[in-house]
């Protein structure tokens, strides 16, 4: 039986630990989103017919604040800022009349739990996970689209029409802006990823040129 190279074994073990750690982190947003969906289901069964829509709209408002307010986003993402400071920052944004946010009590309480449990950096991913669960509840597919600039109504309609032609008739878009992709778009639909960004094209061109050198 051939001997195992200790260095190779060490690298393999490190990679395995990294995969396990990533899987554990990826499970956290789903767990929190599932808890919030369970709460919404319980309220719905008690007769609160609008609970799912209220929570979804409240989370959309928070997601927009995270996307548009860089200082707010950095505050949530920093592991050095105490939880209570992060929570005050969240509540300051939610209570600021200038933002015009309308966040129901259930969402405020939920965000408080997330922040106090030191999961503030995952808040955007938790919201995305809830959106996916809510889309499934509605019999829709959840698609995340990343663009360098916000989608206008025409481009949004064109994208939905293209998805419809590809057999995805009921798609709910979660839109995110990332100037780093330079142009084009990145679309994640279920386990499938479609990357037509300019950044990706430049990377492929660079690799091709390197291979031809």
pLDDT at 59 over 50: yes
Q: What is the pLDDT of residue 166?
A: 84
C-alpha–C-alpha distance, residues 213 and 5, integer Å = 33
Q: What is the pLDDT of residue 24?
A: 46
Q: What is the pLDDT of residue 9?
A: 57
Q: Say which CATH class 1-139 falls into.
A: mainly alpha
C-alpha–C-alpha distance, residues 176 and 67, integer Å = 7
pLDDT band at 97; cut points 50, 70, 90: low
pLDDT band at 21; cut points 50, 70, 90: very low
**pTM summary value:** 0.64
Mean pLDDT, to the nearest integer, of 7-34? 64
Average pLDDT, the chain: 82
**8 Å CB contact between 83 and 118:** yes
Listed in sequence order, the residues at least 6 apart from 35 whose beta carbon sits closer than 8 Å to its beta carbon are none
pLDDT at 19 over 60: no
Residues of the chain with CATH 1.10.520.20: 1-139
């Amino acid at each position: 039986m051939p001997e195992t190279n200790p260095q190779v074994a060490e690298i393999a073990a490190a990679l395995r630990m990294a995969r396990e750690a990533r899987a554990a982190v990826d499970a956290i947003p789903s767990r929190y989103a599932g808890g919030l969906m369970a709460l919404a289901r319980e309220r719905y069964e008690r007769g609160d017919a609008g609970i799912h829509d209220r929570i979804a709209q409240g989370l959309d408002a928070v997601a927009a604040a995270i996307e548009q307010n860089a200082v707010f986003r950095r505050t949530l993402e920093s592991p050095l800022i105490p939880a209570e400071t992060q929570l005050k920052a969240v509540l300051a944004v939610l209570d600021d009349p200038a933002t015009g946010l309308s966040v129901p009590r259930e969402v405020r309480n939920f965000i408080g739990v997330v922040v106090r449990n030191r999961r503030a950096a995952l808040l955007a991913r938790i919201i995305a996970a809830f959106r996916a669960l809510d889309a499934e509840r509605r019999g829709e597919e959840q698609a995340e689209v990343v663009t360098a600039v916000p989608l206008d109504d025409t481009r949004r309609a064109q994208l939905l029409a293209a998805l419809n032609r590809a057999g995805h008739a009921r798609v709910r878009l979660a839109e995110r802006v990332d100037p780093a992709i330079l142009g084009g778009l990145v679309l994640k639909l279920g386990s499938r990823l479609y990357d037509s960004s300019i950044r990706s094209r430049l990377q492929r061109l660079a690799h091709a040129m390197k291979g031809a050198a």
